[in-house]
Amino acid sequence: MSGRFIALEGGEGVGKSTQGRMLAEALRARGIDVVTTREPGGTAGAEAIRAMLLSTEGDGWGARAEALLFAAARADHVEKLILPAVARGAWVVCDRYVDSSRAYQGGGGGLSDNDVMTLHRIGSAGLLPDLTVLLAVRPEVSAERLALRDGGAADRIGGRGADYHARVAAAFRAFAEAEPGRFAVVDAEGSPEEVHGRVMAELMERQS
Ligand code: TYD
């Protein structure tokens, strides 16, 4: 069986990590070799960059430096983990990928989509997932989930204002509309099991 690359995307508190775990388990139950990973991170080098990006110490990064660091972390991740796994026939389930850079550093931080994609071409030869699952909830629902998860202790990016996160959510929606073949937009409200059922339905539909 040939490998596949699936990314989970969405704003803060939409349940990406839970859905990633459930998706991986369901695929493994079907006998598929699954590699779960996340961004920023997934390799030693990328995890080191993650620590620099998300630390709340110091005075932070400007949007451009931040975009370069995400692109550098992604380059290491793609080269050392994602491409080798797909090449040996595994399915990679990745919590966030380049659409997060497009939405956060682009939509939220003000970089042009062209600039973000140029960094992605330089870093990762422009590699895109076979399928990008966008988990979408109403803003009031994600705010509620985040308060429960972080108890007010968000990381540097998660802790940015409501305006920033509204721009991120709008950007994700726009990307999904522009590329309906690559994106599956899944309603992420309801129980984890309900959302998982929707994710699996999208996957099955796109396989046939
Ligand atoms: P993480 O703790 O993984 O957040 P979440 O659980 O919400 O996925 O932290 C990742 C943070 O980094 C999150 O706020 C989104 C942000 N991010 C970017 O700004 N650009 C990117 O390219 C990626 C991959 C993540």
- pTM tops 0.85, yes or no: yes
Which residue has the CA at smallest separation from atom 19 of ligand 1? 104
Q: How far is CA 161 from the centre of its chain?
A: 20
Mean pLDDT per 10-residue section of the chain, whose length is 208 residues: 92 92 98 98 98 88 95 98 98 98 96 98 98 92 74 74 88 97 97 98 88
Q: Which of 47, 100, 119, 133 to mutate to test the pocket of ligand 1 (most atoms within 8 A of CB)?
A: 100
Task: Tell me, in angstroms, the distance from the centre of ligand 1 to residue 32's CA.
Answer: 27
Where along the chain do its domains lie?
4-207
- Other Cβ atoms less than 10 A from the Cβ of 144: the count is 13
Q: Is 111 helix (H, G, I), strand (E, B) or coil?
A: coil
Question: pLDDT tens across 40-80, in order?
Answer: 999 999 999 999 999 888 888 999 999 999 999 999 999 99
pLDDT of residue 150: 66
- DSSP 8-class letter at 156: T
Evaluate: CB of 158 within 6 angstroms of ligand 1: yes
Which residue has the CA at smallest separation from atom 2 of ligand 1? 155
pLDDT of residue 2: 84
Q: Which of 60, 133, 51 is nearest to 97 (CA)?
A: 133
Evaluate: CB of 70 within 6 angstroms of ligand 1: yes
Asked if 74 and 97 touch (Cβ cutoff 8 Å), the reply is: yes
Evaluate: CB of 50 within 6 angstroms of ligand 1: no
Evaluate: CB of 19 within 6 angstroms of ligand 1: no
Which residue has the CA at smallest separation from atom 16 of ligand 1? 157
Task: Tell me, in angstroms, the distance from the centre of ligand 1 to residue 204's CA.
Answer: 27
For domain 4-207, say whether CATH 2.40.70.10 is its number: no
